Amino acid sequence: MDLSPSQIKAVGITNQRETVIAWDKFSGKPLYNAIVWMDTRTVSTVQEILSTKKQETEEIRRISGLPMSTYFSATKIKWLIDNVPEVKVAVDQCRCLFGTVDAWLTWNLTGGANGGLHVTDVTNASRTMLMNLETLQWDPYLCKFFGIDVKLLPEIRSSSEIYGHFVSTKLGGVPISGILGDQQAALVGQLCFKPGQAKCTYGTAGVLLFNTGSTIVHSTQGLLTTVGYKLGPDHPVVYALEGSIAIAGACIRWLRDNLDFGGSYEEIVKLSESVEETGGVFFVPAFSGLFAPYWRSDARGLICGLTEFSTKSHITRAAYEGVAFQVKEILSAINSEVGVVPISSLRVDGGMTVVAHLMQLQADFLGIEVLRSEMGEMSALGAAMAAGNAEGVQVWDIFTKSDSIPGDAFHPKLTNQEREERYVKWKNAVVRTL
């Protein structure tokens, strides 16, 4: 960057959530590769817990808001302790630190082994399956259940405050004052500050967050209860319901790389746009299981309804429709959860939203307005807003009465009957993956 520290008021961090890193606090070196959010190596552990400790899993969900799944950090940390000798030795010698990506970055940027700060924020902590949603602290019961010493975990802070300052870089002295998980950062960037507002981010995976305000809504529909944000130590925490899709943009990449469906994403979009419908083909991209609302790690991907007349174009359109149908399942679950006032619009962002074809499919399947922001990467904006807020810099006036986002609107074109008929067929396809 051709900037001096004096030109930078604050820095915000936003990161993939759930991914776990273990490192030596004295040498600063990682003790093993990061285990990313979509890694399923803990599936046997999860299945054993689900089959033998049902009462405990219900209590874990009540405290953390999360179902037992390979998705979250706790089972990954447990796996590291149980399977990596270097980690186990470091734990026994009290020189191991665990953290999500934000904690690893902050520790290194604020000094690392020479006094680096071991901190995280409430949004990232809420994705570990170790934090109590009510106290916003590491929960003794959860940590004991997974065999994790709380002293090895980072201190939990709000999403917007001065955590520390850069050390030994060109940005030396610049404060780090915003930390949010990527999906919660997008919720902030999309100005979803009112209960009932929702956003969906379309990337490698897909994540829909619905603001529930100060209320912790314990889902009965396969959704996650999580922290939306806490914009300052003295500010109230805002909660959210979340529906996570394991595979969104990744299925389009799979078509390109594994099945040679076009040399570029633009070519794949053209394939999908070249047909008016899928010819009865359905694509359920359960490559690593199904997340919300099913939470079935044993589900596997499926392309069904093929005939001798099926083409690459039909399969490609079915892939895009599969992404949109998964979002519809989540929104339907949220509407069932929160009651009488259905969601009237959905704010969208992320790399896949550049595909207007997908956004129109989404509006058609949801039957509501889809609002695409002109800035695709809202997670970056949300992190900047949180960082600026702590330093008194209004990146965007987060207290403004206006919550409109510049961008495009997509309106549904299908009739209710057409929408429901296609949705029923999609649900039938999903059943075959289970």
pLDDT tens column, 354-392:
999 999 999 999 999 999 988 878 999 999 999 999 988
**Model pLDDT, residue 252:** 95
The C-alpha R_g of the chain, in whole angstroms, comes to 22
CATH code, domain with 66: 3.30.420.40
The verdict on 245 and 394 lying in the same domain is: yes
Residues 6+ apart with CB under 8 A from 137: 131, 156
What is the pTM (predicted TM-score) of this model? 0.90
**Model pLDDT, residue 396:** 66
The residue segments making up the domain with residue 83 are 5-157
Residues 6+ apart with CB under 8 A from 382: 14, 180, 184, 185, 186, 187, 188, 189, 190
**Model pLDDT, residue 376:** 72
**Helical segments of 339-432, H only:** 356-366, 378-390, 416-431
**Model pLDDT, residue 285:** 95
Q: For the sheet containing 11-15, what is the strand order?
A: 11-15, 175-181, 160-165
Overall domain count for the chain: 2
The verdict on 61 and 145 lying in the same domain is: yes
Domain-located, residue 166: no
**Model pLDDT, residue 193:** 93
The verdict on 285 and 139 lying in the same domain is: no
Please indicate whether residue 343 or residue 313 has the higher confidence score (pLDDT): 313
Q: Report the pLDDT averaged over residues 83-110.
A: 97
Q: Which of 142, 157, 172 is the last residue of a domain?
A: 157
Domain-located, residue 175: no
Please indicate whether residue 235 or residue 263 has the higher confidence score (pLDDT): 235
Judged against a pLDDT cut of 90, whether residue 393 lies above it is answered with no
Pairing of strands 96-100, 119-121: unpaired
Contact 58, 49 (CB under 8 A): no
Handedness of CA 386, 16, 345, 362 (dihedral sign): positive
Q: Residue 212 and residue 403: Cα distance in Å, rounded?
A: 17
Judged against a pLDDT cut of 80, whether residue 398 lies above it is answered with no
The pLDDT tens digits for 119-158 are 999 999 999 999 999 999 999 999 999 999 999 999 999 9
Pairing of strands 198-202, 11-15: unpaired
The verdict on 119 and 205 lying in the same domain is: no
